[in-house]
Every structure is written in C-alpha cells, then in structure tokens.
Amino acid sequence: MGPSGPDVRGSVVSILLVGVSHHSAPVALLEAVAVSEVDRDALTEELIAGENVDEAMIVTTCNRVEVYSAVDAFHPALDDVVNLLSRHSGLSVDELSRHLYIRYSESAAEHLFSVASGLDSMVVGEQQIIGQIRTAYQSASEIGAAGTTLHRLAQQALHVGKRVHTETGIDSAGASVVSVALDRAAEILNASADADAPDAPASRRLDGRQAVVLGAGAMGGLAVAHLGRGGISRIEITNRTPERADRLSEIARDSGTPATAFPLDELATAVARADILFTCTGAVGTVVTLGEIHTALARRGDRGPLVICDLGMPRDVDPAVAGLPGVTLLGIEALKADPATSSAAADADAARTIVDAELTAYTQAERMAGVGPLIGQLRGRGGQVVAAEMRRLESRLPDMDDKVRDEVANTVRRVVDKLLHPPTVRFKELAAQPDGENYAAVVRTLFDLDRDVDEEAS
C-alpha cells in the first residue's frame, strides 16, 4: 500500500496517527471520508476489536478526520486503520492513501498539539477544535477505547491548546488576515473614485459595493462578518455543499447584511455583478479558473475593477487571473506579509514555541513512564537475587540463628540496593533523551532480566 513508515516491532506502545484534512485532500474526498458522531463509536470499536490496535480515538471536523491509535507494531496497525477508512468511505486503499498523512510517536503528538493550538486550521487560531478534541476523547473513553496512553496524549493536547489561546493572541490571527484583505480591497476599489469620507477607514468605504464569498467554512464566516461590518451592500455566497452556503447567508441576513446563496456553477454570473470576490474553500487544486473570471469580466461592462482575495490554503484561484485587465489578485502569502498582520505572525510563532516546549516535556514524561515497568522489574530482580541467595544459604546452614539470618538478609539487600542505585538513576536520565528507548534493551541485556533467577542460584 501507499503509506510507509518505520519497521517498529516489540512491546513498546506508541501513538500512530492516520489522517486526512483540507491540507491533503480535495473537498469531495473529505466528504467521502467524513465521520459522523453516530459512526464514530462503531468505527472506533471495530478498530480496537482487532489484534493490532490497543486504543483508538477519532477526531472529526468538517475539514479533517484523524485516527489516533496506541499500537505496539506500526505496519499491522497502519493497515487496519487505512482499511477501516477505506471501507467507511467506499474509496479504494490506493486512492485514499494518496491523500493520507501519517505520523508516528513524537511526530503524532506534535501534530495533535498543533491542531489543538489552532495552528493547523483553515483559520489560524480557531478555538472550536479544542472542543472537538475533547469530544473525541470523551467518546473514546466512554466506550473503553481510550486507555492510559491516549488519556495522557489527549489531556496534554487540551492543556497545550488552552495555554496557547490564553498566553498568545492567536485567536485573532485568522481574522487579521481577513481584515487586511478587506482594507486592501477597499483601497483599490476607491483609488480612482471620489470617496465621500476620505478620512474614514478603508473598510468603511464599501457602500454600494457587492461581494461574492466562495467557501462557507470558518474563513468564509469571517469574510462575511467583516464585509458586513465594512458596510458592504450585498453578499452572494456559494459553496460545494449548498446547505452550508444557505446557512451562512441566513447568518449574514440576521446580522443586517443582505445576502443570498447561489449554486457553485453560477460563479461567473455572480462575479460579473460583484466588486470583491473572497475565496476560502480549503480545496486542493484550482477552484476559480481563468476562463470563469474571463467570462465574468466580459459580462461586467463598465462596472469597474474587480478585487479577488484568495485566502485559500492552498490557493483557490488560477494565478494567471492576475494578468487580466481590471483584476487585482491578493494572495494569502502577500496578505500575511503585510505589516498589519505582523502581530498575528508573532502570535503564531509564540504558539509554536509553546507547542515545542510542551512536546519536549510530554515526550520526556512518556519515556520515563515507558521505563518505569523496566525499573520495577530491575528492582524486583534484585529482590529475587537476595531471596534466591538466602534460600541457598539456609540450605547449607539449616541451623542458622533467626537473628543472624535476618541480619545477613538485610546486609545482602543493602548491598544489592547500593549496587543498583547508580545505574537506576543514570538509566532514568538516559531514558529521557531522544534515543532513550535504546537503553531499555541494554539494561535488559546487561542484567539478563529474561533469565530465571532460580536457574542461576541452582
């Protein structure tokens, strides 16, 4: 199959992430893979019913489906998850695999922390995802699919997300890009006109203007809200899913902005009567073609300039559109480079710093937790050695006084404890390092932990 990864074997439990999102797949594929709350529990139970996945949690939003699993073998578990998504979506494994992203161990944790922080959302800083992660964990926990490993991961992710939103201004990062795009659009549209209020903010000089919004997700909602506050006279909204366009237009009307929804195949007609086009679909590949904009321009007459704000990631609009007369194309890269969005970029950087610090703390704690049982086994082995040696001594000296026997046993225990203490402390320190898992095998081999102590004492 398509995805590949490390050849991981053994009893060490790690996190496996298999996901698909607006970054990796077209809208049609996302819709096919989408997991409803009704289906989530059944799919999770099916996954853990197999032999290769110990714990599972499915995070699902309108723009992503991510399966987090606790596994002790990479490839068998990966096959199980991909096959599950294939059956659920009706897509072949090959077709689905081309759009999947796969993370393992520390990389999987880093991704979830970034998602919880709003760094991976279409609208950077989106807070809604925190609640969706919490819901995913609670759902998995209620059906017994989330054990110790996913509990620690989910709780840490929620902590990271809360910390980022509390300590940085990332909540407004996405809104700032939309605001800058609207200000730039207003400046361009009014550059050759006599503004009634030249000293007013550019975003307030949109009376009589019309806008088209392509995309009814979080970014589309922000665009509609900012257009309404900027004084736009009318908004027309379209989306691949008509119901979402209808809902967003209803929200706009409730806020006092005239708005209607229209079918996606009528985009050129709608753009012909608009001054601003906002695109924010999250689709992979071109959504607005050169031909559509050329057709719209032919129908505009002397309406004036058209400003296209392409906020899609990746871009929605064919770059060649920028060469058409009377069209200004504002891409998200240029908008993010605007000085007015510099604070948003700084907040995103601060959020990533928090994610990095929390990831380091989490991975160190996980390594320590992973070696805990081995340290217990090592200390238990020391106790077994003492017990075995005392049995051998008693067999040779059956008449030994009880007081003497106790004193000898205590002395042997102290000797064993003192001998084990330095390597145990050092082992804990080394286990917290990035390659700490290698030391577990060394300790097991050096102390021969798989051998029966009674065999040695016999």
* CB proximity list for 45: less than 8 A, separation 6 or greater: 143, 145
Mean pLDDT, range 196-222, rounded to an integer: 74
Alpha-carbon dihedral 292, 294, 300, 306, rounded to 10 degrees: 90
Q: Which pLDDT tens digit goes with each residue over 308-343?
A: 999 887 789 999 999 999 999 998 777 766 665 666
Residue 209's Cβ-count burial label (10 Å; 0-12, 13-18, 19+) is buried
What CATH code is assigned to 14-169? 3.30.460.30
- Kindly provide the b/e burial profile for residues 33-47, where b requires at least 16 CB atoms within 10 angstroms of the residue's own CB: bbbeeeebeebbeeb
pLDDT higher than 50, residue 8: no
For 265-307, how does the pLDDT look when each residue is reduced to its tens digit (9 = 90+)? 999 999 999 999 999 887 767 899 999 999 999 998 888 899 9
The more confident residue out of 305 and 12 is: 305
Q: Give the per-residue pLDDT at 192.
A: 53
Q: What separation in angstroms does the CA of 112 have from each of 18, 64, 155, 348?
A: 11, 12, 11, 16
- Going by the annotation, the residues of the binding site for NADP(+) are 215-220
Judge whether residue 209 has pLDDT over 90: yes
Which residue did the predictor score with more confidence, 234 or 26?
A: 234
Tell me whether domains 14-169 and 173-333 share a fold. Answer: no
398 burial (CB, 10 Å; 0-12 / 13-18 / 19+) is exposed
281, 240 in Cβ contact below 8 A?
yes
* 329 sits in which H/E element: strand 327-331
Q: Is the pLDDT of residue 2 over 70?
A: no
Could you tell me the two tokens for 201? 């903010």
Q: In this structure, are residues 92 and 51 in contact, taking their beta carbons and an 8 Å threshold? A: no
Helix (H) or strand (E) holding 213: strand 210-214
Q: Which amino acid is at 195?
A: A
pLDDT of residue 331: 84
Can you tell me the distance from the alpha carbon of 68 to that of 61, in angstroms, rounded to the nearest whole number? 14
Residue ranges for the known binding site for substrate are 61-64, 121, 126-128, 132
- Closest C-alpha among 10, 119, 195, 181 to residue 355: 119
Describe the strand order of the beta sheet including 64-71 as a list of residue ranges. Answer: 55-61, 64-71, 14-21, 101-104
| 173-333: CATH number | 3.40.50.720
CA distances from 215 to 176, 258, 283, 321 (A): 18, 17, 9, 19
Mean pLDDT score of the chain: 84
Radius of gyration of the chain (CA): 30
Listed residue (144, 138, 20) closest to 84, CA to CA? 20
Q: How far apart are CA 272 and CA 294, in angstroms?
A: 10
Annotated binding site: 61-64, 121, 126-128, 132, 215-220
Q: Which residues contact 144 (CB under 8 A, 6 or more apart)?
A: none
**Other Cβ atoms within 10 Å of 312 Cβ, number:** 25
Average pLDDT over residues 194-220: 71
Predicted confidence at residue 456, as pLDDT, reads 47
Among the ranges 13-22, 136-145, 302-311, 381-390, which has the highest mean pLDDT value? Answer: 136-145
Cβ-contact 80, 51 below 8 angstroms? no
What are the residue ranges spanned by the domains of the chain?
Answer: 14-169, 173-333, 366-457
Q: Which residue has the tokens 């040696």?
A: 389
Amino acid, res. 235: I
Other CB atoms within a 10 A radius of the CB of residue 187 amount to 13
Residue labelled with tokens 């910390």: 163
Mean pLDDT to the nearest integer, 115-143: 86
Q: Do the strands 306-310 and 276-279 form a parallel or antiparallel pair, or are they unpaired?
A: parallel
Q: Please give the positions annotated as active site.
A: 62
257 falls in which pLDDT band (50, 70, 90)?
very high
Q: What is the pLDDT of residue 372?
A: 64
- pLDDT tens readout for residues 51-92: 999 999 999 987 799 999 999 999 999 999 999 999 999 999
Return the pLDDT at 205: 65
Classify residue 391 by burial, with Cβ atoms within 10 Å: 0-12, 13-18, 19+: exposed
